[in-house]
């Protein structure tokens, strides 16, 4: 038995509501079960119950054993003075408020279907990455789809929290915010901080002034990223360095330390030098990029904004002065889709919410349906469980489900878990 399971029974009204009595035998009628409190303080707030002939309004606290009230020092805490009912699995001690009021207790043992607990314990003891791996097939498709839609919104809102902080830092300037966030995304996980620091050291208006010259843009980005401080042999790198020294003096630019960048365990196609010049290529081909994205009608339109290439030098180099076999230096479709999923769509969604424009938020969600599903180990696990992911909308929702629910075994907070617990199938 866990406290979370008792929370679940109370919240979902899965107790035998007609048989509720205090440990002293007084009948209990639930007029309002209260609001589940996930912060500090009592477990359910603003409840309303009738004990005997008296109606009470206040809060409810839940424990497995009533003795935990004193163990948690609630008897000394003013936050628990307004508790009107102590719900427990086992009543083994009297609980009093700070003012000495003895709390009425409801012992739930024997007041719920034991099959619920059996199924819950089966989920909690599962050693599968997805606790309900063997059981999810019994859940209706409509239940799963509705839950995934909600999870997708939840994931977008989580992603927009960071974007909102950057927007606040930039005093509500959407173009600058998008520039900083896009730069961060180009750095992926290992070089996100270095890429964002580079963008912050290089004001967007300087890039805008030089947007028609790919050469100058590459020199500015590589230079501010600290990659042009070395001595070079290749003529193109020498030219870039010379140009950056001129631009640095002209705009009083400060380069970040090259040591901030990481190369270990990164494929050459994702080396920061190549990502920097690819970023320069995007800027070279676009004016007011965020505005163009807002006006885009489809994912293909946005992909075209990211489809530009780099200087031909980078077709035979991943790093300065180190020639390699010729390759395509343009952004891959898969990387562009990752940018769309992780940055473009979340910030467009945030823009729609901020402006109260439902058409924009709906467009952001529709774009996720236009992008193919991601294909990582998490999605493969879901496929093995019989849940197919057709689009990025599906894959992002499934990643959210795995990360925030399955990994923590929060089956009681999951609609799929709830459906399994209520199932009449005992297998």
- Contact between 342 and 367 (Cβ < 8 Å): no
3-state percent helix, strand, coil for the chain, nearest multiple of 5: 55, 10, 35
- Residue 49: both structure tokens together: 């119950």
- Contact between 402 and 334 (Cβ < 8 Å): no
Residues 85, 198, single domain; the answer is no
The pair phi, psi for residue 210, each rounded to 5°, is -115, 20
Residue 409 included in any domain: no
pLDDT digits (tens, 9 = 90+) for 158-176: 999 999 999 999 999 999 9
Please check the confidence at residue 322 and state whether its pLDDT lies above 60: yes
Residues 106, 190, single domain; the answer is no
- How far is the C-alpha of 423 from the C-alpha of 138, rounded, in Å? 8
Domain that holds residue 213: 170-370
Residues 74, 189, single domain; the answer is no
Please check the confidence at residue 425 and state whether its pLDDT lies above 60: no
Query: What is the reported pLDDT for 204?
Result: 95
- How far is the C-alpha of 154 from the C-alpha of 225, rounded, in Å? 34
pLDDT class of 424 with cuts at 50, 70, 90: low
From 335, 352, 370, the end of a domain falls on 370
Average pLDDT of 86-114? 94
Residue 161 included in any domain: no
Query: What is the reported pLDDT for 298?
Result: 94
From 112, 138, 159, the end of a domain falls on 112
Residue 72 included in any domain: yes
Average pLDDT of 292-306? 94
Residue 294 included in any domain: yes
Query: What is the reported pLDDT for 285?
Result: 85
Residues 88, 177, single domain; the answer is no
CB atoms within 10 A of CB 140: 10
Residue 422 included in any domain: no
Residues 255, 354, single domain; the answer is yes
Query: What is the reported pLDDT for 43?
Result: 96
pLDDT class of 423 with cuts at 50, 70, 90: confident
Residues 88, 227, single domain; the answer is no
Residues 202, 283, single domain; the answer is yes
Please check the confidence at residue 233 and state whether its pLDDT lies above 90: yes
pLDDT digits (tens, 9 = 90+) for 178-206: 999 999 999 999 999 999 999 999 999 99
Three-state secondary structure of 302-332: HHHHCCCCCCHHHHCEEECCEECCCCCCCCC
pLDDT digits (tens, 9 = 90+) for 358-387: 999 999 999 999 999 999 999 999 999 999
- Taking every pair of Cα atoms in the chain, the longest distance, rounded to a whole number of angstroms, is 92
Work out how many domains the chain is built from and give that number: 2
Residues 263, 351, single domain; the answer is yes
């Amino acid at each position: 038995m866990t406290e979370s399971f008792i929370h679940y029974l109370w919240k979902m009204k899965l107790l035998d509501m007609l048989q509720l009595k205090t440990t002293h035998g007084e009948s209990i009628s639930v007029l309002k079960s209260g609001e589940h409190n996930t912060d500090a303080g009592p477990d359910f707030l603003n409840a309303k119950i009738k004990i005997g002939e008296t109606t009470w309004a206040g809060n409810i606290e839940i424990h497995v054993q009533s003795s935990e009230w004193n163990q948690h020092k609630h008897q000394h805490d003013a936050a628990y003075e307004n508790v009107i009912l102590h719900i427990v699995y086992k009543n083994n001690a009297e609980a009093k408020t700070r003012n000495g009021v003895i709390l009425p207790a409801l012992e739930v043992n024997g007041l719920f279907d034991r099959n619920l607990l059996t199924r819950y314990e089966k989920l909690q003891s599962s050693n599968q990455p997805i606790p309900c791996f063997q059981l999810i097939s019994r859940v209706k498709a409509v239940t799963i789809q509705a839950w995934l839609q909600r999870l997708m919104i939840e994931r977008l809102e989580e992603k927009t929290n960071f974007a909102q902080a950057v927007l606040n830092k930039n005093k509500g300037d959407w173009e600058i915010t998008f520039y900083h966030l896009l730069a961060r995304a180009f750095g992926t996980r290992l070089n996100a901080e270095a890429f964002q620091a580079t963008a912050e050291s290089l004001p967007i208006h300087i890039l805008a002034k030089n947007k028609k010259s790919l050469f100058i843009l590459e020199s500015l980005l590589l230079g501010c990223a600290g990659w042009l401080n070395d001595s070079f042999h290749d003529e193109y790198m020498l030219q870039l360095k010379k140009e950056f020294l001129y631009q640095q003096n002209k705009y009083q630019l400060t380069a970040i330390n090259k040591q901030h960048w990481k190369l270990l365990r990164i494929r050459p196609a994702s080396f920061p030098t190549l990502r920097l010049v690819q970023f320069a290529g995007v800027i070279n081909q676009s004016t007011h990029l965020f505005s163009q994205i807002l006006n885009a009608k489809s994912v293909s339109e946005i992909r075209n904004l990211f489809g530009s290439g780099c200087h031909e030098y980078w077709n035979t180099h991943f790093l300065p002065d180190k020639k390699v076999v010729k390759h395509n230096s343009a952004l891959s479709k898969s990387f562009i889709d990752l940018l769309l999923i992780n940055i473009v769509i979340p910030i467009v969604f945030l823009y729609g919410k901020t402006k109260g424009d439902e058409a924009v938020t709906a467009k952001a969600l529709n774009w996720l349906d236009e992008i193919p599903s991601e294909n990582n180990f998490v999605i493969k696990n879901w496929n093995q469980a019989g849940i197919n992911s057709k689009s990025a909308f599906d894959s992002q929702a499934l990643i959210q489900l795995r990360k925030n629910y399955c990994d923590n075994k929060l089956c009681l907070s999951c609609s799929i878990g709830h459906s399994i617990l209520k199932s009449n199938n005992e297998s």
